[in-house]
Amino acid sequence: MNNSQDTNQKRRQFLLKGAAVTAVAVAPGVMLHTAAKAKPLGDAVTDAVRWGMLVDAAKCADGCDSCVQACNDENGLNLLQKPQGASDEMWDEQIPKWIRNVKVKDNLTGHVTNLPMMCQHCEEPPCVDVCPTTASFRRADGIVMVDRHLCIGCRYCMMACPYKARSFVHEVVEHKLTRAPRGKGCVESCNFCVHRLDDGKTTTACQDACAKDGHNAITFGDLNDPGSEVSQALKEQSSTQIRADLKLNTGVRYRGV
Amino acid sequence: MMKKIYFREWDLESRSYWMLLVVLAAIAGIGGLAALYMEHNGHWVTGMNNQIVWGTPHVFAIFLIVAASGALNVASIGSVFNKTIYKPLAPLSALLAIALLLGGLLVLVLDLGRPDRLIVAMTTYNFKSIFAWNIILYNGFFVIVGIYLWTVMDRKMKCYYKPAGVTAFVWRLVLTTGTGSIFGFLVARQAFDAAIMAPWFIVMSFGFGLAIYMLVLMDVFKRDKRPLGDAIMKKLKGLLAVFVAANLMFMVTYHLTNLYATENHAFEAFILVSGGVYTALFWVGEVLIGGLLPLAILFHPTLSLSRGWLTAASVMVVVGGWMTIYVIVIGGQAFPMALFPGKTILESGFYDGVNGMIASYTPSIPEILLGIGGVAVALVVTVIGIRMLKILPISLADEVADPHASV
């Protein structure tokens, strides 16, 4: 009898301890989840938000490539190894680049500008128009990206993009990050660090890197929210779209170009 | 009164037939291995890169697809426009059309980044994409031309001959319009953004398809010693000359239209003057080999009577045509896009035409082998087709073929 009472007592204690451990382990997750107010991953994005970016070329420092490096790190682009036997020159022309530095000179005035170029996240994206399989698509929140399950690697979107923003994966991808799945034979491009946004964050890797270096040339946020930093900055001063003549209503705007 | 025309399977001696088939199949097989090699390693083993995204396989594929719709023309002249002399030529015309399209599509598909996902392309459509429409147009072409061939060859299907012929003709025009529009709708690239691309592609298809048709016709008739009279060849020769001239006219119009707008002067200077290999291919390939030389032969009073010279003219139209597509597709990509009109790009991390620099591309051997493999597939299908089916008339001698011949 005593024995069975002892056993019950021990069981009760075990269950209590177990419950306490579980509570300690789970509670922070629940609390954090609530604090971050992230959109549940299962919910569809809506057009209540339009993600956009302002690049102030006047603040873009000559010779700086922090945004490029940050993008490569964030999306695992630099995990690709040069295939054995590939020439350095060819490899550099074939390796995917989602963002690049460009230095341009005005033909008349001689004014020189540095700026980062990436997918401009058009409202009317030519890449989406031409894609035969709907792999190229524009999310309701304005992000233009590639569905890697539908992409057949025809590269028609690369022919159509006026910004040369897309890259083709020319080699076997042996290492990749879980947050940025990719593979040989598909097309890819900047997606505004969509994994961060879907995780409740509100900045891109390039923006963070630029700010960390003290340049603050990149402002990112919700164009539909009049109170957002990017909306305020765009309202305050004039900005331009690259190839505005194509009337694509880009989500990336530039100042000082 | 025209004699009745009988058709019979190609009765080339068995040994020669199998030898021919083995050689063609081997070439096709090598093309297949080249595709496997590129697919296994990824496109880094090709000359293509993020600047020149469509390379030599696309040149072969587009050439074959354009030629396919053109090869059907010979049949259409008979079935739609009731030209009696062309009617016996119809079965080979339809067969060649199917064969060339198959070869071209194989090259196109095997050059995809993910050819294993062909089923995705067949089941998930974006109807705003001209590519998606082309998938439907190409598949439809096989079915419609197949049915047309059936109505030509089967007496019981005779009542459907006319509607099938008209449908096939209309379909082929729409198909080539679709192929040309792949380029016509690319607003970002100066070389392509032009409505003339669609009709120009149709005119090119007339020439390429007919030249291939004439080469095949002369060759297969010669190999099993069937009579091929001058009446037919004169008709085809005259037609080819008109098509080649029309192609030249469209080419001139395309470049003159571009030259009218100042913004395109740099692009035109690139193609016409300073583009290195592209300029050479334009003047020597597109203008001379694909245009002026064959025209000179075809209009020459004595040379045009010789089968050897006719063969040479047809080969020139084919080779010059291939070069034309090369200049359009690859030259058009090599010229840097106008990312910043009015500005010069001094530095770029992504080859954006720094100081107007041209994008580099050198065709790799596997790409060329894949393209040639596609040509071989088209010929294998043709050879098997004429061997198994009653495609070829027993005789196309003048007294048989020519309705006005005095017999």
8 Å CB contact between B231 and B85: yes
Cβ distance A154 to B48 less than 8 Å, yes or no, reads no
8 Å CB contact between A105 and B346: yes
Cβ distance B129 to A108 less than 8 Å, yes or no, reads no
Q: What is the pTM of this model?
A: 0.91
* Furthest C-alpha separation in chain A: 101
Q: Is B272 part of the contact surface with chain A (CB cutoff 8 Å)? A: no
CA distance B113 to chain A (A): 4
Chain B nearest-CA residue for A154: B112
Cβ distance A168 to B53 less than 8 Å, yes or no, reads yes
What pLDDT, on the 0 to 100 scale, is given for residue B187? Answer: 86
A81-84, Cβ contacts within 8 angstroms, sequence gap of 24 or more: A81/A174, A81/A175, A83/A171, A83/A172, A83/B41, A83/B42, A83/B44
Scanning B302-331 for CB atoms below 8 A from A yields none
Cβ distance A131 to B131 less than 8 Å, yes or no, reads yes
CA–CA separation, B187 and A124 (whole Å): 13
CA–CA separation, B253 and B249 (whole Å): 6
Q: Is B6 part of the contact surface with chain A (CB cutoff 8 Å)? A: no
Torsion of CA B48, B51, B54, B56, to 10 degrees: -50
Element (H, E) at A91: helix A88-94
Q: Per-10-residue mean pLDDT for chain B, 407 residues long?
A: 81 95 98 97 97 97 97 94 92 97 98 95 94 94 97 91 95 93 88 91 97 98 94 95 98 95 92 96 98 97 95 98 97 95 95 93 97 98 97 91 63
* R_g of chain A computed on alpha carbons: 24
8 Å CB contact between B313 and B343: no
For B149, the token pair is: 């061939």
Cβ distance A132 to B131 less than 8 Å, yes or no, reads yes
8 Å CB contact between B106 and B375: no
Q: Which of A15-19, A42-46, A68-72, B282-286 has the lowest mean pLDDT?
A: A15-19
What pLDDT, on the 0 to 100 scale, is given for residue A12? Answer: 73
CA distance B267 to chain A (A): 16
List residues bridging with A136 in a β-sheet. Answer: A146
What pLDDT, on the 0 to 100 scale, is given for residue A19? Answer: 73
Cβ distance A151 to B348 less than 8 Å, yes or no, reads no
Cβ distance A164 to B49 less than 8 Å, yes or no, reads no
Q: Is A172 part of the contact surface with chain B (CB cutoff 8 Å)? A: yes
- pLDDT at residue A29 is higher than 60: no
Helix (H/G/I), strand (E/B), else coil: A101: strand
* R_g of chain B computed on alpha carbons: 22
Scanning B173-202 for CB atoms below 8 A from A yields 182, 185-189, 192
Scanning B113-142 for CB atoms below 8 A from A yields 113-115, 117-118, 120-121, 124-126, 128-132, 134-135
CA distance A34 to chain B (A): 38
Output A196 or A23, whichever has higher pLDDT.
A196
